[in-house]
Structure 1
Amino acid sequence: MVNEEMIRKAGEVLSDPRNHKEEVQALQDTMYVVGGKWRLLIINSICNGNKRFREIERSIPGITTRMLSRELKDMEANQLIKRTVFPGTPVLVEYTETDYCMSFGGIILEMINWGKMHRERMRQG
C-alpha cells in the first residue's frame, strides 16, 4: 500500500525546480539501457542464480531463444552482464551480472514492490 511518507517524498522531489531537458535525457538513457519487455526480467533471472542460457530462457515465460540471444548481446554491450566462456566439451557459457548492473538493483526492487502493491490494489477494486 502507498503510504503517506512515500507520497510526501515524491511530492517534494517532483515539486523542486528541475531541469526538464536533463531529466528527459536521463530517462531516455535509462529506458534505452533497461527498456523493452525482457531486460528487467533477464536481469532478475540472472540475479536469482540462473547463469546458463537455457536456465535463463526457462525462467522467463514467453521469451524466444532468438530474443534472449539478442537481449543478452545488447546487455553485454551495455556492461550490464558479463559473458564467460569455459572451454571444454561441451563449451559452457555463463552470464553474470556486473557491478554496474547491481547499481540498478535498488530500482528493480522498488519496481517489484510497486508492482506487487499495484496488483493488490487492482485486486481490491
Structure 2
Amino acid sequence: MKYSPVANALKLIGGKWKIMILDSLLSKHMRFGELKRSLNGITSQMLSKQLKDMERDKLLIKKVSKVETLNTEYSLTEFGKSTVPIVKSLIKWGTFNKKKITKVINNDVALSESSFLQERVIDLFHDEIRLKNLQRKKQI
C-alpha cells in the first residue's frame, strides 16, 4: 500500500465536522454544550461520535472535573494544535473566496439531498477503513 500523506491526514481530520470542531477549539477549551451551539446543525449524537473519534486519534483531550457538578471540557492536544495552519489556511481561503463559495453553495441548495447521501457514503467508507484497521490489528 502506497503512503499518502493527504489520505492519511484526511482519515484523522476529514469529514464535515472535524475541521469545524478543531476551529472551535483553536482559541479556548469548550464544554459539550458550547461546542454544540458553535456548530450549527450538528446533532448531539454526531458531536459525541466525532469527539470520541478525535480523542481516540489524540487530536483532543477530554477533561472531566467535579466542582459543584460534573463538568466535561474539551481542548486540543499538542498534536491537535498542529492542525492550526490547516484550519487557518481554510479560513483564509474561505474568506478570500466568500462570494464564489456563496454562489456555489446557493446553486447547490437543490442538490442538498444528494450531498447528504454523499456525506453518508463517505462516513460509511471511513467506518469501513477503521473496521479493517481494527481487524488487521487483531490479526497481528
TM-score (norm 1): 0.74
For residues 101 and 24 of structure 2, the distance between their equivalents in structure 1, rounded to whole angstroms, comes to: 26
For residues 121 and 63 of structure 1, the distance between their equivalents in structure 2, rounded to whole angstroms, comes to: 25
The higher radius of gyration belongs to 1
1:33 corresponds to which letter in structure 2?
Answer: L
For residues 35 and 67 of structure 2, the distance between their equivalents in structure 1, rounded to whole angstroms, comes to: 21
* 4+ runs deviating over 2 angstroms: 120-124
Gaps of 5+ in 1: 1-20
The match for 1:15 is none
For residues 71 and 121 of structure 1, the distance between their equivalents in structure 2, rounded to whole angstroms, comes to: 29
Q: Which one of 85, 92, 96 corresponds to residue 75 of structure 2?
A: 96
Gaps of 5+ in 2: 104-140
The match for 2:133 is none
Query: CA RMSD for the aligned pairs?
Result: 1.8
Q: Which one of 37, 50, 66 corresponds to residue 58 of structure 1?
A: 37
The match for 1:110 is 89
> What is the percent sequence identity of the aligned residues?
32
Is the Cα–Cα contact under 8 Å of residues 18 and 50 in structure 2 kept in the other structure? yes
Is the Cα–Cα contact under 8 Å of residues 63 and 73 in structure 2 kept in the other structure? yes
